[in-house]
Amino acid sequence: MDEMSLYLQATTQRVWFPIGQRPIVHISPQRDCQHWYGALCLNTGQEVALSVPGLDSLTTLHFLSHLLTIFPTQPILLFLDRAPWHRGEAIHTFLADNPRLQWLYFPPACPQLNPQEHVWKAARQAVSHNHTFLTLSELRSAFAHFLDTTLFHFHRVEKFAPLNLRGV
């Protein structure tokens, strides 16, 4: 599980372009953004994502409730970074009250271990890098469509996870 902020301003990355011509990427002067919470089902590659108004403990609780609704009977193991909104009494109480939810924290400063970070990177590359959207609504729709229609397989889990976490 992880969260991110998607900005209306175009982000750029390297592109192939004819020699002597300069690519034009239109930049919006607005700093409007849309926040997202996401969780990746490592067994299926299915992404569960919600666009949310902010990043805080209450929104984390809302997303955890959403996960329990999406997966009504399965036990859920969450891997979390150490963001402040993933900790605190309200979060620990919610997790204690919902025994189907278990969690592990990633080591500090290790985003490369988080499968959800790879989902965000793929989505940004496909949707927002080198693209200009006129409205935040258009960007949010394109981003949601990509997340909803793409499977994300994260194979590093097989290398690092204990056998009982691999679904073997």
Is 89 among the domain residues?
A: no
Is 86 among the domain residues?
A: no
Element spanning 100, H or E? none
Is 125 among the domain residues?
A: yes
Domain count, the chain: 1
In whole angstroms, how far apart are CA 110 and each of 10, 48, 49, 105?
Answer: 26, 22, 22, 10
| pTM score, whole prediction | 0.83
Is 96 among the domain residues?
A: no
Helices H / strands E in the chain, number of each:
5, 5
Is 58 among the domain residues?
A: yes
Tens of pLDDT along 15-40?
677 888 887 766 666 678 899 999 99
Tens of pLDDT along 95-129?
899 999 998 888 888 888 899 999 999 999 999 88
Q: What is residue 6's three-state secondary structure?
A: strand
Instruction: Reply yes or no on whether the pLDDT at 155 is more than 90.
Output: no
Range of the domain at 57: 2-73+115-165
Residue 36 near residue 145, CB atoms below 8 Å: no
